Chains A and B, each alone.
Chain A
Amino acid sequence: MPDKTAPQLPIHYLQSTIPQSAMSTLTIYKRELGSYFSQPTAYAIIVIFLLLSMGLAFTFGSFIKAGDASLEWPFFFWHPWIFMLLAPAVGMKLWSDEQRNGTIELLGTFPVTTRSAIIGKFLAAATIWLVALACTFPIVLTVNYLGDPDNGVILSGYIGSFLVCCSFIAITMLVSACTRDQVVCLIVSVFVCFLAVVIGYDPVARALDSFATPPAADVIAATGLWAQLVRWWHQGVAQMVEVATSFGVWNHFASLNRGLFRLQDLVWFGSTILISLLGTSAILSAKRS
């Protein structure tokens, strides 16, 4: 039975310096994070990530055999491949679950904006990966013990790795807004992330480049409509290959991995994440109207 002393919106809350949207983002963040850790999801993902990243570093990565005090090839090289499988597994439930259980109706009628909810959920999933990456610290200790690596480059590699992860989570979130089925979300997001990884991967990029060969000498020299069309075709293909490879994650990851902070990479990661999150918001609103 509600009594007369029922709380109104508390004054101290209204006076608080933290804006309301940040508070609700934080509340949603805490709930999502709690839900990851109250279920086996987070633990399974972190353990599998550690097994894969360490396993690959010490086997195919030839971490010991290479005798090189760096983590670029033996360790970070594998991360995009692992993330393209595991990041969607973390993100797939974010909106699919809400839509399947109908809790999106609760969320939609609470005094929170869709934006706060999206940011809260995104940050929670990113936190899982921050924890997973932090758990790989023994390899940093090892490489410092065995040799004299540039720790700045290692830090930069971690940042690159984390940004790849965040991009994949954002992409998964966009997909999960589209479907109430987690399996569909997983498959589609893995495929999109796979494309993003593979398209800029060196062997694939080179294969694509071979399509973009310049026209033969006699065509360049020739005049006439046909030769002109062939030249345009070659130019078009070359440009398309360039655009496609620049959509790949590899270019941007590799430079950070080498310890290089380029504005273009940060812009790429930033805009991938931002566009995915805005797209999520657009899809969620479109679904209601």
Chain B
Amino acid sequence: MISIEDLEKQATQVRRDIVRMVNGASSGHPGGPLGSADFLVALYFKIMKPDPAKFTMDGVGEDLFFLSNGHLSAGWYSVLARYGYFDIHELATFRKLGARLQGHPATAEGLPGIRMSSGSLGQGLSVAIGAAMAKKMNNDEHLVYCLMGDGELQEGQNWEALMFAAGHKVDNLIAVIDFNGVQIDGPNEKVMPMGDLEAKFEAFGWKALPMFGNDMNEVVNTLKKAQWYTGQGQPVIILMTTHMGYGVDFMMDNHEWHGVFPNDEQTKKALEQLNETIGDY
């Protein structure tokens, strides 16, 4: 069984990958994936533990993950590669012509681990609900996870989906909101205040759990708790507080690092703060 310390090492390596990938592509989004790296590592290495060699599009008999906020692609690709879906050296092709690692996740290029294109926001939760309902129809007791951004909740489709999942008792679904409080134009509070999200989710009929997403111990424990709440007639949602840009001091909590790549000097400075724990690609 993988220890918390080993999960943290993976997360640090994933953060190094993110910074190097975005720098290598001279484009991309470093802030979001740095903040959610702990969650993605915990989900794959500790919670879902899928078998990469047995990847199929249908995913029958295994837990499924959907990334709704597709601009977190660098982080997801790194976790998929580190977990064994493809060679880590392919991370160097991120956002380059002919690459399977498209700017936003795509199924068209046949990258193992990806079942749905995302990038245009607000669509992932609906897809995850559909996949969860297919699991029920197939008598497949595995769970479906979906990561969404907080700014993404401003898209109306999410609220259609939130209403539906509770109304139809889609209780094999765990949604996670990356609540870093920041979106491209600035803090959520300035761009579009969303009020008390936990109260809103509860009012919509979901079981809502708070979590600090940059503490590996808390991430693992909350995900286990969320699993426990499944199968009880209610969908489950985790309001995951994170620091955008976590792990790199000058990026942390700064909305300007949402969609800007670090230059070579900034990359060097960032990597000095992130130890090469597993080995670079």
Do A and B bind?
no
B residues apposed to A, CB below 8 Å: none
